[in-house]
Amino acid sequence: MIEQGQKLPAATLSQLTKDGMVNHEVTELFAGKKVVLFAVPGAFTPTCSEAHLPGYVVLADQLKDKGVDLIACVSVNDAFVMKAWGEAQNASEIMMLADGDASFTKALGLEMDTESFGGVRSQRYAMVIEDGVVTLLNVEAPKEFEASKAETILASL
């Protein structure tokens, strides 16, 4: 599993924008920026939709006031689902990124197999990234939701 102080691995994440599909190289997307990246097991799932993403939507301005340049959400879903979920959650300040084949999640060592629920998905986590280097990594224990919530990350900045 990736650790604090390590650079993010090279990977591609997708985003569906009003102009079409955009493939972002992670190393380029996060270069020269302070980023809060949080991951959820699945878009439109209960904790993700009722608490995790909404917390970042509500606290986006406060996170940016602490010097965060970009807030991004990633999930092992496709870009169409991530765009629809972001719109349904009024997440205009959050970059909704898709890791459709879980390659980024696997490169981080943060995948989990949910078997018949949805196969390989991401563990729930949040990280602070500064110029491509992980400076904070909070991975949730199974069935927990505290370490990766927006309030916890805001308090750590």
Tell me, what's the pLDDT at 23? Answer: 98
Residue 1 lies in a domain: no
Rounded to whole angstroms, the Cα distance separating 99 from 15 reads: 9
Residues of the chain with pLDDT under 70: none
Catalytic residues: 48
In a domain, 77, yes or no: yes
Long-range contacts of 99-107 (CB under 8 A, 24+ apart): 99/11, 99/13, 99/14, 99/74, 99/75, 100/14, 100/76, 102/76, 103/11, 103/12, 104/9, 104/11, 104/12, 104/13, 104/26, 104/74, 105/39, 105/74, 105/76, 107/9, 107/10, 107/11
Question: How much is the mean pLDDT over the chain?
Answer: 96
**Is residue 2 one of the residues assigned to a domain?**
no
* Domain region containing 54: 12-156
**Is 16 inside a domain boundary?**
yes
Nearest Cα residue to 86 out of 53, 45, 42, 37: 53
Whole-angstrom distance, CA of residue 19 vs CA of residue 75: 21
Domain count, the chain: 1
Q: Does residue 6 lie within any of the structural domains?
A: no
Whether residue 49 lies inside any domain: the answer is yes
Amino acid 91: pLDDT = 97
Which CATH number characterizes residue 114's domain? 3.40.30.10
Of 124, 122, 126, 123, residue with least CA distance to 155: 126
Going by C-alpha positions, the residue among 71, 106, 83 that lies closest to residue 22 is: 83
Q: Is residue 64 assigned to a domain?
A: yes
Residue 32 included in any domain: yes
Q: What is the pLDDT of residues 46-88, one digit of tens each?
A: 888 899 999 999 999 999 999 999 999 999 999 999 999 999 9
